Amino acid sequence: MAVHEFDGIIIGAGGAGLMAALQASKSAKIAVLSKLYPTRSHTGTAQGGIGAALGNLEEDHWEWHMFDTIKGGDYLVDQDAAEIMCREAVDTVYELEHMGLPFSRTPDGKIAQRPFGGHTREFGKAPVQRSCYAADRTGHMILQTLYQQCIKQGVTFFNEFHVVDLLVQDGVVCGAVAIEIATGELYTFHAKAVLFATGGSGRMYKITSNALTLTGDGMAVVYRRGIPLEDMEFFQFHPTGIYKMGILITEAARGEGGILRNNSGERFMERYAATLKDLAPRDMVSRAIYKEIREGRGIGGKDYVHLDLTHLDSKVIHAKLPDITDFVETYMGIDPVKSPIPIQPTAHYAMGGIPTNSDAEVVIDEKNTAMPGLYAAGECACVSVHGANRLGTNSLVDIIVFGRRGGKALGRFVQQAPLQPLPPDSEKATRDRIERLFESRGSESVARIREKLQAEMMDKASVFRTEGELKKMLDILRGLRQRYSNVCLQDRGRKFNMELLEAFELDHLLELSQVTVTSAMARQESRGAHAREDFPKRDDAKWLKHTLAYRDEELVSLKYKPVSITKFQPQERKY
């Protein structure tokens, strides 16, 4: 058995993981494990920007940002955490600038900012320019900048190590088990603390903006070890994915003046959100698009609408949205300067995840009891700063602010915590799972089960939900579980066995889909991204609370915990 020993390990090398590593490695021996080469992490695809109330182009305040975040999240946001995020956003953006991040600039040399959905001035009066950006490559620049800093600081990386298990002995975290992709060998990482920063789970759905690798591994790994998942019924659909492909067209396209139009060329968002129109929050815009399509106003009666940029100056499009112009030309053969872009809502972001407090410590019950040595930050975590619906630009803020706080907290923790002994035969559970997969002689393929899962989740548990459809989905999931037990791998080698890793990833997607659907069925109200057609109203009396889903053998058992409300009482959500 090969064992590596560190003070702390960080799983994931996206923005959250790298920021945490930078902080923690100042005072401790830290390793970063990533199934991808770090700069291939999904953070690198983020286009539109990172929200911070710098006030470079007009007056802005972190309190306004905090209010927008809470209202955008349909009041399910933990307000103490949102306050920390919006305050520290300003400082962290400057920190990134000082690390060398090449932001776009105003004519007088300040960081440029643009409007984004749901971000307003004076508590909802009008859109405000808050999103700090580097053209439409903001995430790419963040990831490259942080990776360079990590290299400079000598952080140890284990690239292309796929983590499959968390090690816990007597309720105390003591490491993780990973498969080295190149060799298929198992490795135990023995540590005092583990921070998960494994990103999202959009691959539950057929149409998604998420990379192939976003299979919710971190969430599923901790869930299988008895740790709950919070608010998994809230999954964000971004309004503008390229039709049939789901590839994202950033909200910045609307921030720069793009307009959504239906079959008759009408700017339909005027009917749904009179003040913010096309810049209303994503849940509202996605529902509006679905409604237009259902009522026969999709383009040519089909299931898409248009994103129109043709009235914008072509210089603006090429300077501020170069990458998305390129995507649209490459994938659709359309020049967005001349023709509108066919779009449909695309599965984009997991608001739910591993419950944490604002120091990224994982909390495991209704009383927010922290599990010593276990941390989570970024999209796999739920702090909860996004509540029932995340605003654009707030994920990049979240990963940077809470990645930083988590890294610092982990760095402090390992100074005083002893290294716990490993459980006997730490790799046994993983070895057994691998052997079962290799030995199975069934007739099922990973790809076919995954395809069915994604199509059914898209159909039954996406933008609109009903009890009947969710029930059907649970039955389908039972069937898919059954089929999974008959999976037969074609590749029986150990080196670069991607089929084996995809079998693990599918297992995770099945697990998380079950949590999502069970949590969604229980929540009999509509709030943020969770829209129940059979319960169309928000119900604060019964449902102003977070869901905690625990694994209970083959089933999911649910508990609830209160929302932290400090400054802003829930109001009707009008835009």
Ligand X SMILES: Cc1cc2nc3c(=O)[nH]c(=O)nc-3n(C[C@H](O)[C@H](O)[C@H](O)COP(=O)(O)OP(=O)(O)OC[C@H]3O[C@@H](n4cnc5c(N)ncnc54)[C@H](O)[C@@H]3O)c2cc1C
Which residues are tagged catalytic? Answer: 282
Q: Does 352 bind ligand X (CB under 6 A)?
A: no
Least Cβ distance, residue 16 to ligand X (angstroms)? 3
160 or 444: CB nearest ligand X = 160
> 431 and 186 in contact (C-beta within 8 Å)?
yes
Q: Give the whole-angstrom CA distance, residue 489 versus residue 466.
A: 36
Which of 10, 20, 85, 163 is in the footprint of ligand X by CB under 6 A? 163
In the structure, how many helices (H) and strands (E) does the chain have? Answer: 16, 24
Token code pair at residue 350: 């997991």
Which of 7, 88, 361, 379 is in the footprint of ligand X by CB under 6 A? 379
Let me know how long the chain is.
Answer: 575
162 or 532: CB nearest ligand X = 162
Helix (H) or strand (E) holding 549: strand 545-552
Least Cβ distance, residue 279 to ligand X (angstroms)? 14
Which of 6, 10, 17, 132 is in the footprint of ligand X by CB under 6 A? 17
Q: Does 118 bind ligand X (CB under 6 A)?
A: no
Sign of CA dihedral 205, 209, 213, 216: negative
Over the window 129 to 158, marking each residue x when it contacts ligand X by CB under 6 A and - when it does not, the resulting string is: ---------xx-------------------
Which of 65, 121, 130, 162 is in the footprint of ligand X by CB under 6 A? 162
391 or 473: CB nearest ligand X = 391
CA 462 to chain centre: 15
Tell me, what DSSP letter sits at residue 310?
T
Range in contact with ligand X (rule: CB under 6 A) among 60-68, 197-205, 488-496, 540-548:
197-205
Cβ neighbourhood burial of 485 (10 Å; 0-12, 13-18, 19+): exposed
Q: Give the whole-angstrom CA distance, residue 272 versus residue 278.
A: 9
The residue number with the shortest CB distance to ligand X is 14
> 188 and 130 in contact (C-beta within 8 Å)?
no
Q: Does 115 bind ligand X (CB under 6 A)?
A: no
Least Cβ distance, residue 528 to ligand X (angstroms)? 16
Q: Does 16 bind ligand X (CB under 6 A)?
A: yes
Token code pair at residue 367: 């009383």
Q: Does 197 bind ligand X (CB under 6 A)?
A: yes
83 or 502: CB nearest ligand X = 502
> 195 and 17 in contact (C-beta within 8 Å)?
yes
Which of 55, 175, 199, 407 is in the footprint of ligand X by CB under 6 A? 199
Range in contact with ligand X (rule: CB under 6 A) among 7-15, 368-376, 534-542, 561-569:
7-15
Range in contact with ligand X (rule: CB under 6 A) among 33-41, 121-129, 146-154, 550-558:
33-41
Q: Does 217 bind ligand X (CB under 6 A)?
A: yes
Residues 398-427 that bind ligand X (CB under 6 A): 399
Q: Give the whole-angstrom CA distance, residue 73 versus residue 22.
A: 30
47 or 426: CB nearest ligand X = 47
103 or 535: CB nearest ligand X = 103
Q: Does 454 bind ligand X (CB under 6 A)?
A: no
Helix (H) or strand (E) holding 185: none
Which of 394, 420, 516, 526 is in the footprint of ligand X by CB under 6 A? 394
Cβ neighbourhood burial of 570 (10 Å; 0-12, 13-18, 19+): middle
Q: Does 526 bind ligand X (CB under 6 A)?
A: no
Q: Give the whole-angstrom CA distance, residue 477 versus residue 449.
A: 10
Least Cβ distance, residue 1 to ligand X (angstroms)? 19
Which of 396, 410, 414, 531 is in the footprint of ligand X by CB under 6 A? 396
Q: Taking each helix axis as running N to C, give the angle between helix 217-224 and helix 498-522, from 0 to 180 degrees, rounded to the nearest 10.
A: 70
Q: Give the whole-angstrom CA distance, residue 265 versus residue 237.
A: 23
Sign of CA dihedral 46, 47, 48, 54: positive
Q: Does 41 bind ligand X (CB under 6 A)?
A: yes
Q: Give the whole-angstrom CA distance, residue 69 versus residue 77.
A: 8
Q: Give the whole-angstrom CA distance, residue 215 versus residue 210.
A: 9
Q: Does 33 bind ligand X (CB under 6 A)?
A: yes
Number of residues that bind ligand X (CB under 6 A): 44
Cβ neighbourhood burial of 59 (10 Å; 0-12, 13-18, 19+): exposed
Which of 79, 92, 198, 286 is in the footprint of ligand X by CB under 6 A? 198
SS3 (DSSP) at 71: helix
Q: Which residues in this chain contact ligand X in the complex, by CB under 6 A?
A: 11-17, 33-36, 38, 41-43, 45-50, 138-139, 162-163, 197-200, 209-210, 217-218, 248, 250, 349, 378-379, 392-396, 399
